[in-house]
Amino acid sequence: MKKRQLFPLGKAYGDAFCNRVDETQKLLGNIQNNKHTLIIAPRRYGKSSLAEKAIMQSKLPSVKINFHLCTSEAEVAQLVLDSVIKLIGKSIGQLEKLMSSIKKYISNLEPLLSFGSDHVTLQLIPKNQPNYSVIICEALLLLEKLLIEKNKKAVIFLDEFQEIDKISKQTGIEGAFRTAAQEMQNLSLIFSGSVRSLLLSMFEDENRPLYKLCRKIKLERIAANDYEKHIQKISVASWSKPLDSAAFNKIMELSHRHPYYVNYLCDAVWEECTQLPKVKNIERAWANVVIEEWSDALRELSDLPVGQRRLLKYIANNEIKNIGAQETCAALSMPASSLSTAAAALIEKDYAEHDTSEYYRVINPLLLAVLRGAED
């Protein structure tokens, strides 16, 4: 693997995967013991990389369902059907020999086999006017029953699952997943998504079907000493020497250990430098990253209401423990109630968080850099 490929801006595979040892082992344990899992983290924290790493280590057949492009319940149901069929083939195989079992386990779907020159294709066609919740539940339970019958195990990774909440204003589809999931002994589900607030609402509201269904794994920033082992190994492979402590610490300082931006900054450093980087090289590389992303960041910030944008900029430039403090109210000319509402919205949207020292802080270091240099 080329050195810059060790700092991916998408999913991390192989040697590009940094640490997450505890989280990987916890997720692997859940998979092996048929515990469904909800992975919780801000955007670009490596949720998909973690899920796929643990699934790979489990050596179980799996399928990933990404709901990001779904716009209707019909599309959700069809995606689940297609994925179930795919996983039946991967985990059990020989579809033509399963027809009697398949017919035994379904009542709202009609199985249809198509024979090609070198393969067999299974379709599951809804009977009559489809009820999408019933179809989803029946398809998942069909897979589960076949796995039990053949003494096999498998995993489904349900990514961008919050789209279900956006698509369906009723809870029927959530209920379908709940009904099927609580019957599962051989099939494990992993739920994840990029809108943390919606996911938490789906899984933590006691009035919704998915309440208390899953074990939870919350991803935090990776520790600096874990990053040091990872980055220094690549430095030695690249320049026969580790980075000096000042250069490494500058990477941690500028990226705030945000997984995506650690990789972004390191990729820029490795792109620029032919010799062992110094602090000035790290700073220049980060300046280039900020310039490259400046217009996108401003566009994202401009979508925020003015009150939220002003508060986010204030958080970026000040240490705040009490968001409704008189000093903050005076500085922004906003009442405490409005500041509290704005802060809650920023946290819900993953723009801000309370860190371990109880200060508010901006999650995204790129937005932080822009907010420290941008006007209202």
Q: What distance in Å separates the CA atoms of residue 67 and residue 212, rounded to the nearest whole number?
A: 22
Classify residue 7: in a domain, yes or no.
no
Same domain, 319 and 350: yes
Classify residue 200: in a domain, yes or no.
yes
**Neighbouring residues of 257: CB distance < 8 A, sequence distance ≥ 6:** 221, 222, 223, 224, 227
Same domain, 55 and 199: yes
Same domain, 65 and 195: yes
Number of domains in the chain: 3
Q: What distance in Å separates the CA atoms of residue 65 and residue 61, rounded to the nearest whole number?
A: 14
For the chain, the first-to-last Cα distance in angstroms comes to 44
| Domain termination site, one of 218, 248, 282 | 218
Classify residue 5: in a domain, yes or no.
no
List the chain pLDDT tens, one digit each, 376 residues.
Answer: 688 899 999 888 888 899 899 999 999 999 999 999 999 999 899 999 999 999 999 999 999 999 999 999 999 999 999 999 999 989 997 777 788 899 999 999 988 877 766 677 888 998 888 899 999 999 999 999 999 999 999 999 999 999 999 998 788 999 999 999 999 999 999 999 999 999 999 999 999 999 999 999 999 999 999 999 999 999 999 999 999 999 999 999 999 999 999 999 999 999 999 999 999 999 999 999 999 999 999 999 999 999 999 999 999 999 998 999 999 999 999 999 999 999 999 999 999 998 666 899 999 999 999 999 854 4
Q: How high is the pLDDT of residue 376?
A: 45
Query: Are the C-beta atoms of 210 and 165 separated by less than 8 Å?
Result: no
| Domain termination site, one of 303, 318, 350 | 303
Classify residue 153: in a domain, yes or no.
yes
Query: Are the C-beta atoms of 194 and 160 separated by less than 8 Å?
Result: yes
Q: Note every long-range contact of 109-112, with CB atoms under 8 Å and residues 24 or more positions apart, other chains counting.
A: 109/81, 109/135, 109/138, 109/139, 109/142
Phi, psi of 322, rounded to the nearest 5 degrees: -110, 105
- pLDDT, tens digit, for every residue of 82-133? 999 999 989 997 777 788 899 999 999 988 877 766 677 888 998 888 899 9
Same domain, 289 and 262: yes
Classify residue 103: in a domain, yes or no.
no
Same domain, 232 and 181: no
Same domain, 293 and 211: no
Phi, psi of 124, rounded to the nearest 5 degrees: -115, 110
Same domain, 52 and 175: yes
Classify residue 121: in a domain, yes or no.
no
Q: 86: closest CA among 25, 139, 127?
A: 139
**Neighbouring residues of 191: CB distance < 8 A, sequence distance ≥ 6:** 36, 37, 38, 39, 158, 161, 199, 203, 214
Burial of 243 (0-12, 13-18, 19+ CB in 10 A): buried
Give the tokens for residue 251: 């990477």
CATH number, residue 370: 1.10.10.10
Phi, psi of 211, rounded to the nearest 5 degrees: -55, 130
**Range of the structural domain that residue 169 is part of:** 20-97+129-218
Same domain, 234 and 314: no
Give the tokens for residue 41: 């983290």
Classify residue 106: in a domain, yes or no.
no
Q: 213: closest CA among 202, 223, 198, 224?
A: 202
Classify residue 9: in a domain, yes or no.
no
Q: How high is the pLDDT of residue 127?
A: 87
Q: Is 322 left (phi over 0), alpha (psi -120 to 50) or beta?
A: beta
Q: What distance in Å separates the CA atoms of residue 176 and residue 158, rounded to the nearest whole number?
A: 14
Query: Are the C-beta atoms of 54 and 27 separated by less than 8 Å?
Result: yes
Q: What distance in Å separates the CA atoms of residue 91 and residue 97, rounded to the nearest whole number?
A: 14
DSSP labels, 228-294: HHHHHHHHHHHHSSPPPHHHHHHHHHHHTT-HHHHHHHHHHHHHH-SS---HHHHHHHHHHHHHHHH
Same domain, 246 and 353: no
